[in-house]
Every structure is written in structure tokens, then in C-alpha cells.
Chains A and B, each alone.
Chain A
């Protein structure tokens, strides 16, 4: 009915580079967000080095390592799914995306068991057991919950995004010639992985 309105959409040609640029800029805000978090961590670790060591002993390194491997693998599958789509292999791409989603779910399940184990030992924010500990340990566990929690929230968001991508690829909204959405989602997912690459040694590997 309104020709002008339609042309407004179409005249702004598709700009994949622009879309990716927007995504990268968004990722930088995430980097700064977690960067601030790491700054808080760095300051407190500097102030309470031995307490951080003591507290970190209580974390389960095996679970942390397992989760690292899962997340790295999920990063691989999402990268491969783009390559598959570029080669026109829609089904393979879908399988790889579903695998990514599955790995993400596994990560969250492990995280769930980790947290519940801690909570059942009475270590959670505000618990009498935690408050009885040294200040440095209260801070360590406060940061542990906040940072892994914030990261977990990003995993959840990433799962939703990837689920959408599965639908889009299945319905040919994301195709061999138009896959910038998938690329951007993958960028987001890699960022989630990147943050974990730093969280892992800082929490699980202080021995």
C-alpha cells in the first residue's frame, strides 16, 4: 500500500560486514563487563592471596576441567556448522548446531551439580558457615558465585540463540548465501567460551 515504506527497507541493502561489526562492538561491551569482574577478582586476590588458595581447594578441579573440554568442543561444533553451511551441507550444519546445544546443556548440568554440592556443604552467600570463614574466603566464594553465575547466564542466552539458529537453518532463513546471523551467534558463543578459558584457571587451578 505504501511503496515508499517498502523501499525504505529494501534500499538499505544487506550489509553483512555492518552486521558483524555491530556484533563485535557488542562483544566488546561483554569483554568490558567481564573485564570489570576480573578486575574485582584481581584486586581481592592481590589482597588475600593465601585465603584465595585455601578457598580454591574446595572447588572440584575435575568438574572444572570436564566443563572446559565440553565448552571447547561446543565451540568447535559451532564453528564447523558454519563451514558446513558454507559448503551447502544443511543437514550436517543442523547436526553440528544441535551438538553445540547438547554440549551447552551438559555444561549447565555439570554446573548445577557443582553448585548444589557447594550449597549442600553450606557454602553459599550469607550462609553462617561461609560467614564464619576468613574475609578473603567470603570474597572468593562471593566472586565464584557471581562470576560463574554470570557466565552461566550467558551460556543460557547462548543456548536460546543457538536454538533459534537451528530453527532458522531448518526453515532456510539462514542459508548458504545468507548466514551472517549464524556467524554472529557463533561469535557470541565463542565469547562465552573465551570467558571460561580465563575463569577456569583463576578459580579451579589455584593449588
Chain B
């Protein structure tokens, strides 16, 4: 039951992920300077999503942890998504 028999992640992986996160940050800042019109927000949010996926999977170990945690994460993510979608049925059609 203890955490010990779980796979340990090495220093190297963490540092690689950190470098990737920094790279994505510089990309998102650079792109923000370019005028892409309506795609700007979409790209910025996609990059944020990729960054958060990295943090959740590696830094927060969810990839290596109990599978049930992934289910939990999906449940809360879905809840949030539903709330957003349904609220916008009001604002988009107003």
C-alpha cells in the first residue's frame, strides 16, 4: 500500500519537463506579440492546456498513480466543462 512500490521519477525527467514548460512559455509570449486575430486566444489556451497536462502528468504523478485518480480528474473536468457550455447557451444566444 505504501508509495514505495510506485515507480519513482528521476531528476532528469523533471528537468526535461521543466525545460519544455519554459519553452512553451516563450512560445506563448512570442505568439501573443503576433497579430493572429481570433486564433490568438485559441492558441494561448491550447498552449496552457499542454503545459497543464505536463504538470499534471509528470509533476503531479497522475500518470503513475492510482488509476482511480484519473477518473476523478475526468469527473471534475467534465463538470467544469458542462458548467461552461450550459452557461454560454445563455450568453451566445442573448
Contacts and interface: CB of A to CB of B under 8 A. Distances in A.
A73 B14 CA distance: 10
A113 interface: no
Contact of B8 (A28, A32, A86, A207): A86
Chain A at the B interface: mostly helix, strand, loop or mixed? helix
Nearest to A62: B29
A197 B48 contact: yes
B11 A201 contact: no
B55 A197 contact: yes
A158 B44 CA distance: 26
Most buried by A among B21, B29, B60, B91: B60
B7 to A, nearest CB: 11
B15 to A, nearest CB: 7
B8 A80 contact: no
Interface stretch (A119-127, A143-151, A179-187): A179-187
Nearest to B68: A21
A168 B58 CA distance: 24
A79 B59 contact: yes
Interface residues of A, number: 49
Contacts of B77: 31
Contacts of A20: 65-66, 69
Given A28-B72, A72-B25, A42 B84 contact: yes
Contacts of B8: 83, 86-87
A98 interface: no
Interface in B24-81: 25, 28-29, 32-33, 35, 40-41, 44-45, 47-48, 51-52, 55-56, 58-61, 65-66, 68-69, 72-73, 75-77, 79-80
A69 B26 CA distance: 10
Interface in A114-169: none
A129 B40 CA distance: 30
A191 to B, nearest CB: 8
Most buried by B among A72, A187, A194, A198: A72
B21 A72 contact: yes
B44 A205 contact: yes
Contacts of B47: 201
List 9 tightest A-B contacts by C-beta distance, closest first.
Answer: A201-B44, A205-B32, A28-B76, A76-B18, A35-B80, A79-B59, A72-B21, A197-B51, A190-B60
Interface of B: 1-4, 8-11, 14-15, 17-18, 21-22, 25, 28-29, 32-33, 35, 40-41, 44-45, 47-48, 51-52, 55-56, 58-61, 65-66, 68-69, 72-73, 75-77, 79-80, 83-84, 87-88, 91-92
11 contacts: A21-B69, A43-B91, A76-B17, A76-B59, A83-B8, A194-B52, A201-B45, A202-B44, A205-B44, A206-B41, A207-B32
